[in-house]
Structure 1
Amino acid sequence: MAATKTTDTSTYKLNHTMLRVKDPKESVKFYELLGLTQIRKLQFPEAKFDLYFLAYDSPTAVSHGHSVFDREGVIELTHNYGTESDPAYKINNGNVEPHRGFGHTCISVDNIQAACQRIEDAGYKFQKKLTDGRMRNIAFALDPDGYWVEIIGQKPLEATADVTTTDVTTYRMNHTMIRVKDSEKSLHFYQEVMGMTLLRTAPNPAAKFTNFFLGYAAGNVTSPTPAEGVSSAAYREGVLELTWNHGTESDPDFAYHDGNKEPQGFGHICVSVDDIDAACQRFEDLKVNWKKRLTDGRMKNVAFVLDPDGYWVEIVQNERLAGKPNFDQ
């Protein structure tokens, strides 16, 4: 009798966040300004779309030199042919009513004032500058489609006040934020089903919301030693932030937009696993809601699970652990 395949969630990685974009040239240019490198491009001309994978890949980067699906903190840009020349096409960034859901991606930087100035000097707009509002230690830049990119510092604000330079090779793709209706249900799903660990809880009772930060053991990278007054989480990649606005769980009619219904924008987060067949069998045994099983459709090497809010979670094979690429392109 053949041995039953097993899967170890401690090897899982929060691999990437997928965003649809109108014009890939403009979007790649923006994310390269943030220090990311295009590490792979997959083309599907028969289906009329291309995928651009970007990640931090300097010699000091957490996943330097790794294959696409053996990383955390990857950004996948999806371009559907023709959108770049369609004046009516517009992305849903997830932050405008009534289509809120996905919130933002986040990069952590060495010197936040200098990093923000560099982005502004390049001609990009901000949803929130450092000097706006009450929270003076974070900013939100806008990418070409209006997606929010949060910027946080790896050092205390006062330590970089007089620093005018910034080194993009030290940046990290820190986290992805999605809003959730019921924090208990979402925390159970991401911890008990997806195998993540709760890293930190950040309640804000005055503003009536709480943020939960989760990640995988495989991504528990805290080097270099965090600066005094800065959470080690700022040095991590592949963190998932769940934002719970208090009271939504008790409203039976309340729902967030998953990004895949019209108007579209954010597509999914993706988890890479040690053995995709065993992982999917485990999900099956846990009675998850499926968007796509491995056996559905033409692509037999990816699956999609639905979280409690209907967000899509892609499941892919970690190529390093399989010893072969997921795609032959």
Structure 2
Amino acid sequence: MATDPSKYKLNHSMLRVKDPKRSLAFYEFLGMKLIHKLPNPDAKFDLYFLAYDSPSALSHGNVWTDREGIVELTHNYGTEDDPNYTIANGNTEPHRGFGHLCISVDNIQAACQRLEEQGYKFQKKLSDGRMRHIAFVLDPDGYWVEVIGQKSLENTEGVKETDVATYRMNHTMIRVKDAEASLKFYKDVMGMQIKRTSENPKNEFNLYFLGYGAPAKENAPDGVAPTADQEGILELTWNYGTEKDANFKYHNGNAEPQGFGHICISVDDLDAACARFEEHKVDWKKRLTDGRMKNIAFVLDPDGYWIEVVQNEKLKTRANW
């Protein structure tokens, strides 16, 4: 059985959370819906899968493995009652790696005002710094959630309303040491396409946006990302020179202190996809045949970030999730 990478989806991004009630309240306030839950009382952890699911959402009503733009929250029992338990958000030294999630919204000023009125803190407000078209709100664990607009600022100036049903879970950002190696991996092995590139030589960093499905819009308005209407985008951030430092390494979120866990790709045929990855001589964290869980595998990217691989259950039934 062959596998077709064009049918793959960037299904979800996993974050560990301290208190699921607080985290669920935050992401539901952003308009997401709990579409699936996997309780694991024997192992003392639960998994919560949230996604945009309004009638206008890109994958409304789909089985959870047949979607892009899901946020998986992992809760290990007891952390909510542990005053010393904290999450590594990926943005503080020496544990930088994962950067942020990003949602795109209809009216960015109104969306940020709504978050501020609810009492959520910001890492960067729209009015901070020179970049007036993006903001970063903090979730209850201190993870950064970027907010970008689906329309130009001029078209939303003075608009007071925002409709969460129009929001998208747009992208997940991770920092990479060697852009060339990472781009080759995500294109050749994971089958993604580069949708857009943002080069910033003055500030010595580049951003690469990759994913599956349709290409970016060709005629996006000024100040609007060409991929703002999409979900399931992976943003790779490369800071110039890191590839030349033999000792440089990013934190993958799974070594202590923990935080971000993995991204997940859903595939057309899990066995065939894993056989293809084997042909590409990937580094495995977990093969399908390892351990008791025979329905998931984990591949390691060039920086040691974990990539979960699961079956798209719409295309082929495999697991009783």
Asked if the contact 1:186–1:307 (Cα under 8 Å) also holds between the matched residues in 2, the reply is: yes
Provide the C-alpha distance between the structure 2 equivalents of 1:10 and 1:156, rounded to a whole number of angstroms.
Answer: 31
% of aligned pairs identical?
A: 69
Whether 2:311 is the aligned partner of 1:317: answer: yes
Provide the C-alpha distance between the structure 2 equivalents of 1:228 and 1:208, rounded to a whole number of angstroms.
Answer: 23
What amino acid does structure 1 have at the position aligned with 2:308? E
- Which residue matches 2:320? 327
Equivalent residue for 2:13, pick from 11, 17, 27: 17
- Which residue matches 1:193? 189
Asked if the contact 2:261–2:306 (Cα under 8 Å) also holds between the matched residues in 1, the reply is: yes
Provide the C-alpha distance between the structure 2 equivalents of 1:93 and 1:231, rounded to a whole number of angstroms.
Answer: 25
Equivalent residue for 1:26, pick from 13, 19, 22: 22
Q: What's the offset of the Cα at 1:262?
A: 0.2
Provide the C-alpha distance between the structure 2 equivalents of 1:242 and 1:159, rounded to a whole number of angstroms.
Answer: 29
- Which residue matches 1:141? 137
Q: What's the offset of the Cα at 1:220?
A: 5.2
TM-score, length basis structure 2: 0.98
Provide the C-alpha distance between the structure 1 equivalents of 2:224 and 2:16, rounded to a whole number of angstroms.
Answer: 32
Q: SS of the counterpart of 2:13?
A: strand
Equivalent residue for 2:253, pick from 252, 259, 262: 259
What aligned pairs does 1:239-318 form with structure 2 within 5 A after superposition? 239-318=233-312
Q: What's the offset of the Cα at 1:230?
A: 2.8
Q: What's the offset of the Cα at 1:160?
A: 0.7
1:27-79 Cα offsets, whole Å, 9 max, x none, are 00000000000001100111100000000000000000001110000000000
- Which residue matches 1:234? 228
Asked if the contact 1:220–1:236 (Cα under 8 Å) also holds between the matched residues in 2, the reply is: no
- Which residue matches 1:64? 60
Provide the C-alpha distance between the structure 1 equivalents of 2:49 and 2:31, rounded to a whole number of angstroms.
Answer: 13
What amino acid does structure 1 have at the position aligned with 2:87? I
1:253-312 Cα offsets, whole Å, 9 max, x none, are 000000000000000000000000000000001100000000001110000000000000
Asked if the contact 2:153–2:223 (Cα under 8 Å) also holds between the matched residues in 1, the reply is: no
- Which residue matches 2:112? 116
CA RMSD of aligned residues (A): 1.4
Equivalent residue for 1:177, pick from 173, 184, 193: 173
What is the aligned residue count?
321
TM-score, length basis structure 1: 0.95
1:208-255 Cα offsets, whole Å, 9 max, x none, are 1000000102x6586xx9556534300000000000000000000000
Provide the C-alpha distance between the structure 2 equivalents of 1:91 and 1:53, rounded to a whole number of angstroms.
Answer: 19
Give ranges in structure 2 of 5+ residues lacking alignment: none
What amino acid does structure 1 have at the position aligned with 2:246? P
Q: SS of the counterpart of 1:192?
A: helix
Provide the C-alpha distance between the structure 2 equivalents of 1:83 and 1:322, rounded to a whole number of angstroms.
Answer: 36
What amino acid does structure 2 have at the position aligned with 1:316? V
Provide the C-alpha distance between the structure 1 equivalents of 2:215 and 2:40, rounded to a whole number of angstroms.
Answer: 34
